[in-house]
Amino acid sequence: MGNADVNIEELQTFVEVADAGGISPAAQRLGVAKSIVSRRLARLEAELGVQLVVRTTRGTALTEAGATFRDYAARACAEIAVAKETMLPAGELRGRLRVAVPLSFGPTHFAPVLAEMARRHPLMHIQACYSDRFVDLIAEGYDCAIRVGYLPDSNLIARRIGPIYGRLVASPAYIKNYGEPTTPETLLTHQALMQGTETWQLTDGGRSITVRPQGALRRTTVRRWSPPRWRGWASPICPTASPMRIWPPARWCR
């Protein structure tokens, strides 16, 4: 290796590629395009005059030089991060925060919280991913996530934010054609608009009932249900804490 003017971003990118095992997962962790990761990696290899990674069918693998350089690069990045921290005012937050948030909850309920956090801590770089798919925090490089519903057993640390209460609604046309369900059991004979495969947990005082309704129509997101498109059908449970809009609300029956 000759004299090289190495950029810290290039070092950080190389470490992410080495640890993630590929350019695509490294790009997800860094929150940048894959092309940017590739360019940074190419510049670093050109500056060092040595090949650090090789492409494989499963991603990328470190060369012998890359495996040796990875540890030095990681320590250098850590030392620079510590040096930056020592120069900041006490209590000042900085760095990157990647958050995964459900599309049915984030834009209206969580986005204002992130905006206020960004205002209070201008040195932070906050990246929010709004999606209703299940996100693997470790594999995709997220720092935290908001989950709506029951959590499976996990080694991750979880904190309960609050309850979500739901309601069942149907269009007047549906009630007119098929009648109004009067008990949880009668819901089994009705049609419903579903999100994925789900069951409804209904409570009546101290009694809890699980209902798996019939769903001829399904959606991958519940952010907006449009009555003109779904007229004549029963609506699924509408979480009152979600930003799902039923427009216009006067046309629906609870």
> Among candidates 50, 53, 44, 36, which has minimal Cα distance to 5?
44
Q: Give the pLDDT of residue 40.
A: 93
Task: Output the pTM of the full model.
Answer: 0.48
Q: Give the pLDDT of residue 240.
A: 39
- What is the rounded CA–CA span in Å between residue 76 and residue 63? 20
Domains of the chain in sequence order: 8-87 (1.10.10.10), 91-162 (3.40.190.10), 166-251 (3.40.190)
| 210: its two tokens | 């699980």
DSSP 16-79: HHHHHTSHHHHHHHHTS-HHHHHHHHHHHHHHHTS--EEEETTEEEE-HHHHHHHHHHHHHHHH
Q: What is the pLDDT along the chain (254 residues), one digit of tens a residue?
A: 445 578 889 999 999 999 888 898 888 888 888 899 999 999 999 999 999 999 887 778 899 999 999 999 999 988 888 787 777 666 677 788 999 998 877 888 888 888 898 898 888 889 999 888 888 887 788 888 988 776 766 677 788 777 666 677 777 777 888 788 887 778 777 777 766 556 777 776 667 777 777 765 555 555 544 444 444 444 433 433 443 333 344 454 55
Q: Give the pLDDT of residue 221.
A: 53
- What is the rounded CA–CA span in Å between residue 187 and residue 185? 5
- DSSP H helices, the chain, are 8-20, 23-30, 34-48, 64-87, 111-120, 172-178, 227-230
Q: Give the pLDDT of residue 244.
A: 37
Show the CA angle centred on residue 229, arms to residues 223 and 232, nearest 5°.
110
- What is the rounded CA–CA span in Å between residue 134 and residue 1? 44
